[in-house]
Amino acid sequence: MKSLESFKSFLREILINNDGDIKLREHKDIILYAKNLGLDERKLSKLLQEINNTINWNLIEQQKKEPEDPLKQKPSKKKTVGDKQTTAKVEQTDESGKPAGMPVKAISIITASRVLLAVVIVFLIYVLIETANETNQSEVIMYNYADVLAFRSRPEIKNDNIIENISYGTEVKVYSTEQGWAKCALNNKHGFVASEFLLHKKDFTELEVIFGDSNARQLITKTRYKKAILGYFHSKHIMGNMPDETQVAIYGTIQNKEKWQFLLLIRPVDTTLFFTAE
């Protein structure tokens, strides 16, 4: 170092390495160098103060706190055991924390598998939520009052979407009704039936007791006739032959109504359906 500028750079480096604390008595080389440049100790102290004031100590402090760049190769540490010298290998890592020596293809495969796993987890959560929502839907128990009713996979009249045919009196769980179709469940299967052929338990029970026996019920097969008979009983405030315990279960109390029924009378010549009161 032969110039004042190089001497200033030298002093700046020493100040930074010593956190601004330099004891000139311990640095005779600095004093000697200053004398060669014509600087006495007073001028040297003043120069040190000026350089110290130009240093951004906050920035230097922040840089010291920053972690070491993981991409930089760490030197191997050697240690001696007895007469043998061994080397402790320090694994170099990249920015993601993986060993720097790992092939790019292997990293890509690991990343792809994680993405696939995340997709599967999200799908399973979606299925669980949908299942919970369907389970939480309000179920209404209803009954088929048609002789035969198609249970379909989708809400449209097609021959290829019939899951099975259900018989009169079959109980189904109805979740919702829209545009003439009831979304329901039957035997752990989900599908759709025409909602016009379903009755609530109260109405179905009232319809059942109107007929005196199965023969009378089977004689009237049209659902519109069954619905008309049920409507007539409601309008006339009469009921079928319903046992007292059934009345309590359906209405909460015994009803004070006249009881009428349809019975099938079979004669040698003809068959007659007649109306009888209790």
Whether residues 156 and 59 fall in one domain: no
Whether residues 59 and 144 fall in one domain: no
Pairing of strands 189-194, 181-186: antiparallel
Whether residues 148 and 253 fall in one domain: yes
Residue 93 lies in a domain: no
**CA 215 centroid distance within chain:** 54
Mean pLDDT across the chain: 78
Q: What is the pLDDT of residue 101?
A: 53
Contact 152, 163 (CB under 8 A): yes
Residue 83 lies in a domain: no
- Closest by CA to 260, choosing from 241, 243, 274, is 241
Could you say which of 65, 86, 113 is where a domain stops?
A: 65
Whether residues 146 and 265 fall in one domain: yes
For residues 81-108, average pLDDT: 49
Specify the DSSP element, H or E, that contains 165: strand 162-167
DSSP H helical ranges for the chain: 4-17, 28-36, 41-54, 57-65, 104-136, 201-210, 214-219, 223-236, 244-251
Residue 177 lies in a domain: yes
How many distinct structural domains can be found in the chain?
Answer: 2
Residue 198 lies in a domain: yes
Tell me the CATH number at 203. Answer: 2.30.30.40
Q: What is the pLDDT of residue 43?
A: 82
**CA 84 centroid distance within chain:** 60
Could you say which of 65, 82, 106 is where a domain stops?
A: 65
Q: What is the pLDDT of residue 131?
A: 64
Domain that holds residue 28: 4-65
Question: pLDDT band at residue 152, thresholds of 50, 70 and 90?
Answer: very high
Q: What is the pLDDT of residue 11?
A: 78
Planar angle of CA 89, 92, 93, nearest 5 degrees: 145
Residue 17 lies in a domain: yes
Could you say which of 65, 94, 115 is where a domain stops?
A: 65
Using one digit for the tens of pLDDT, what is the confidence trace for 189-233? 999 999 999 999 999 999 989 988 878 777 788 898 888 999 999
Whether residues 266 and 153 fall in one domain: yes
**CA 154 centroid distance within chain:** 26
Residue 88 lies in a domain: no
